[in-house]
């Protein structure tokens, strides 16, 4: 009698040769965009100390309370297959002294498996793969906008349709006040809640806003809104993020019900929703986590990140097509003065949109510092914007190899660079 063949575990997949082209397309496209924007790759282990996730994601979260693959090793240590990538990266950032590197420290991951013990269905697996970025050391709203712009650029490169949902969940005092307002509100309509919602009410009432249950959604319509409880700093920060997104022409839906299910988030949270309806609609998400580095033993360090599941992106790609990657020069955008810095920020994003690797560091005041950074990162060109250039709507292009420089109209810079590079 033939022996029984083994089957893969429920909620896991074999990525077969026929699927490899698209699989690589997703990872390579994301890696290229990250490298262009000055991110460095990091790989962390698949197993970690269980407490890392309990401390960061939170013991009341769905992930920690229900979905972790936790086991004891032969020495009796409690280990967990990582359910998400941020906490391990923060751990690695602190453990390996990355925290002493010049800020911002910009890291990215591609093709990293994550594990969650949930009920498998289309687009939801027990082992799934993520791409993502984490930026440490910047509390500037521009950084939130840059991370979002990178994600937008990624989906656009792959011709994927998405809706950007964005919200702010304020600081911990905001959330404390907001949670007690929600508890009061939901306690009064307790009989309309299902069992899960009742449990969430006692652990984290903000999660109810995220509920997929029709009755709970109805009850949430009249629930208090976080915007009414927001601290001034978070409000200003959020307004600035939205202004930067407007400046970049990125459309978004303000979604006061978006809370994300992990404890470490504060201020900006966002999600990208795909074209299909239903529970597995999220193509990616992220937000700020300014308190996490300190919570895990480091110095207070603002941070923001984004991650997306590869499988759901592949489902979307199945509905569209593929686009080849582009080769490009490497440009550093230097600027002096507030107006110029704002322009440099938008120009950098525009260059990246056009497939040109670009970097700017608008937190550096001095032009000499910026030029030496341009040389250090081995940029092919340095673009220089000062008050005079803003006034004349021009920009200086310095060829970093020959040292020659010229002035061109700012409206033509992207095409000028693209053609010049091709003829090199």
CB atoms within 10 A of CB 333: 30
Q: What is the Cα 337 distance to its own chain's centre?
A: 29
Nearest-Å Rg of the Cα atoms of the chain is 23
Tokens encoding 319? 């509905």
308 binds ligand AMP (CB under 6 A): yes
Phi-psi region of 287 (alpha: psi -120 to 50; beta: other; left: phi over 0): left
Structure tokens at 110: 């591609």
Q: Which lies closer to ligand AMP via its Cβ, residue 126 or residue 373?
A: 126
- Using rule CB under 6 A, residue 149 touches ligand AMP: no
Among 116, 157, 237, 267, binds ligand AMP (CB under 6 A): 116
**How many helices (H) does the chain have, and how many strands (E)?**
15, 16
The pairing of beta strand 330-335 with beta strand 357-360: parallel
| Residue 33 touching ligand AMP (CB under 6 A) | no
Site for ligand AMP (CB under 6 A): which residue of 284, 291, 302, 355? 284
Q: How far apart are CA 143 and CA 156, in angstroms?
A: 20
Q: Is 209 in the site for ligand AMP (CB under 6 A)?
A: no
**Residue that the structure tokens 């895990």 belong to:** 296
When the beta carbons of 93 and 306 are compared against ligand AMP, the nearer one is: 306
Residue 288 is a binding residue for ligand AMP (CB under 6 A): no
When asked if residue 88 is in the footprint of ligand AMP (CB under 6 A), the reply is no
128 sits near ligand AMP (criterion: CB under 6 A) = yes
In the complex, least distance from residue 298 CB atom to ligand AMP, rounded to whole angstroms: 21
Binding mask 237-276 for ligand AMP (x = CB under 6 A): ----------------------------------------
Q: Which residue is nearest to ligand AMP (CB)?
A: 309
Number of residues that bind ligand AMP (CB under 6 A): 16
By CB under 6 A, tell whether 118 contacts ligand AMP: yes
For 309, half-sphere exposure in the C-beta direction (CA atoms, 13 angstrom radius) is 23
Cβ closest to ligand AMP, residue 70 vs residue 247: 70
Stretch that binds ligand AMP, among 26-34, 215-223, 281-289, 377-385 (CB under 6 A): 281-289
Of the candidate residues 88, 205, 285, 329, the single one contacting ligand AMP (CB under 6 A): 285
Q: Taking a C-beta distance cutoff of 8 angstroms, is the pair 260, 287 a contact?
A: yes
Virtual torsion, Cα 264, 266, 271, 277, nearest 10 deg: 80
How far is Cα 185 from Cα 379, in angstroms, rounded to an integer?
A: 56
The CA–CA distances, whole Å, from 415 to 32, 51, 354 equal 20, 51, 9
Considering only 36-44, 153-161, 308-316, 380-388, which stretch makes contact with ligand AMP by CB under 6 A?
308-316
Q: What residues line the site for ligand AMP (CB under 6 A)?
A: 84, 116, 118, 124-125, 128, 130, 282-285, 307-309, 311-312
């Amino acid at each position: 009698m033939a022996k029984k063949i083994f089957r893969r575990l429920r909620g896991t997949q074999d990525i077969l040769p026929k699927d490899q082209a698209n699989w690589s397309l997703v990872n390579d496209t994301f890696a290229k965009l990250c490298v262009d924007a000055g991110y460095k790759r990091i790989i962390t282990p698949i197993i970690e100390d269980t407490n890392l996730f309990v401390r960061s994601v939170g013991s009341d979260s769905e992930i920690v309370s229900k979905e972790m693959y936790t086991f004891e090793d032969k020495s009796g240590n409690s280990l967990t297959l990582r359910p998400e990538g941020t906490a391990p990266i923060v751990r690695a950032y602190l453990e390996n002294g990355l925290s002493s590197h010049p800020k911002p420290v910009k890291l990215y991951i591609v093709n990293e498996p994550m594990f969650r013990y949930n009920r498998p269905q289309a687009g939801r697996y027990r082992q799934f793969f993520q791409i993502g970025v984490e930026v440490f050391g910047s509390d500037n709203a521009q950084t939130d906008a840059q991370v979002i712009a990178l994600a937008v650029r990624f989906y656009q490169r792959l011709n994927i349709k998405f809706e950007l949902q964005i919200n702010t969940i304020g600081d911990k005092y905001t959330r404390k006040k907001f949670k007690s307002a929600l508890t009061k509100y939901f306690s009064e309509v307790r009989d309309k809640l299902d069992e899960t919602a009742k449990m969430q009410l006692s652990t984290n009432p903000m999660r109810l806003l995220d509920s997929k249950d029709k009755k709970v959604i109805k009850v949430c319509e009249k629930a208090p809104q976080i915007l009414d409880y927001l601290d001034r700093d978070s409000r200003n920060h959020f307004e600035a993020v939205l202004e930067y997104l407007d400046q970049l022409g990125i459309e978004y839906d303000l979604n006061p019900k978006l809370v994300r299910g992990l404890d470490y988030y504060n201020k900006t949270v966002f999600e990208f929703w795909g074209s299909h309806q239903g529970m597995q609609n999220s193509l990616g998400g992220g937000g700020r986590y300014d308190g996490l580095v300190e919570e895990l033993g480091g110095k207070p360090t603002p941070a923001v990140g984004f991650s997306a599941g590869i499988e759901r992106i592949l489902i979307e790609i199945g509905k569209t097509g593929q686009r080849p990657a582009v080769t490009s020069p490497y440009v550093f955008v230097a600027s002096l003065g507030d107006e110029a810095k704002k322009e440099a920020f938008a120009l950098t994003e525009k260059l990246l949109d056009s497939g040109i690797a670009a970097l700017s560091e608008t937190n550096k005041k001095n032009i000499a510092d910026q030029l030496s950074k341009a040389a250090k990162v081995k940029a092919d060109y340095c673009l220089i914007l000062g008050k005079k250039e803003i006034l004349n709507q021009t920009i200086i292009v310095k060829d970093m190899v020959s040292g020659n420089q010229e002035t061109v109209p700012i409206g033509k810079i992207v095409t000028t660079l693209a053609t010049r590079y091709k003829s090199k």
